[in-house]
């Protein structure tokens, strides 16, 4: 974590930080809060719904997520949430349960501009994490929120959507990927 929060910017594929396994966070301080705040700013500047710390050039186990609710949408059965009430920071997140049912959704990634592809993921997940003060919390998520949590957690393990998308989606994006690799 050599960069100060105001130096953080969106990192694009094929930057090596996107493939590294991020380090756990042990210090919950103003610096961490500043990094999370800058990540939220980057996410909003890029019109995203999630951003992992490696995408901002910092290899720590933190991501932010802000999935808006659809009008009239309510939490589902068993307290499953489909949206956040504003941006949430997830520190040292872990999925502790996932549904057996899987769905395919076209995903994009801020670090892979113009790349979109179908990714199959569990419909619902339960995640534990810490907030910016180090307090533990748990969230049960479905729909787009569940997909966002899984996508951002993948980033913390160096996994990108191009690793998980269907073969057809990879083929469709091969020219764009080649251009990204060449810079």
- Give the separation between CA 120 and CA 122, rounded to whole angstroms: 7
The tens digit of pLDDT for each residue in 98-117 reads: 999 999 999 999 999 999 99
Query: Quick one: pLDDT at residue 183?
Result: 81
Domain ranges of the chain: 5-176
- Give the separation between CA 165 and CA 88, rounded to whole angstroms: 26
The answer to whether residue 37 scores a pLDDT higher than 80 is yes
Query: Quick one: pLDDT at residue 72?
Result: 67
The tens digit of pLDDT for each residue in 54-112 reads: 999 999 999 999 999 877 666 666 788 999 999 999 999 999 999 999 999 999 999 99
Task: Cite the active site residues.
Answer: 152
Structure tokens at 29: 């301080």
Task: Report the percentage of the chain scoring pLDDT > 90.
Answer: 89
Bridge partners of residue 98, in order along the sequence: 125
Token pair 């393990």 in the structure block, residue:
157
> Fold for domain 5-176?
Peptide Deformylase (3.90.45)
- Give the separation between CA 175 and CA 77, rounded to whole angstroms: 43
The answer to whether residue 51 scores a pLDDT higher than 70 is yes
Query: Quick one: pLDDT at residue 18?
Result: 99
| pTM for this entry | 0.95
């Amino acid at each position: 974590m050599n960069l100060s929060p105001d130096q953080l910017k969106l990192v694009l594929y094929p930057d090596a930080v996107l493939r590294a396994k991020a380090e756990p966070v042990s210090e919950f301080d103003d610096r961490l809060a500043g990094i999370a705040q800058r990540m939220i700013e980057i996410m909003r500047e890029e019109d995203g719904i999630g951003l992992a710390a490696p995408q901002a050039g910092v290899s720590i186990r933190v991501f932010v997520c802000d999935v808006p609710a659809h009008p009239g949408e309510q939490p589902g059965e068993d307290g499953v949430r489909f949206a956040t009430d504003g941006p949430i920071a997830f520190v040292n997140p872990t999925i502790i349960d996932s549904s057996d049912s899987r769905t395919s959704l076209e995903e994009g990634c801020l670090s892979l501009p113009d790349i979109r592809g179908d990714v199959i993921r569990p419909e619902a997940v339960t995640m534990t994490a810490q907030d910016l003060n180090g307090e533990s919390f748990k969230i049960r998520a479905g729909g787009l929120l569940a997909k966002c949590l899984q996508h951002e957690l993948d980033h913390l393990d160096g996994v990108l959507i191009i690793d998980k998308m269907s073969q057809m989606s990879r083929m469709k994006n091969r020219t764009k990927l080649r251009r990204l690799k060449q810079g």
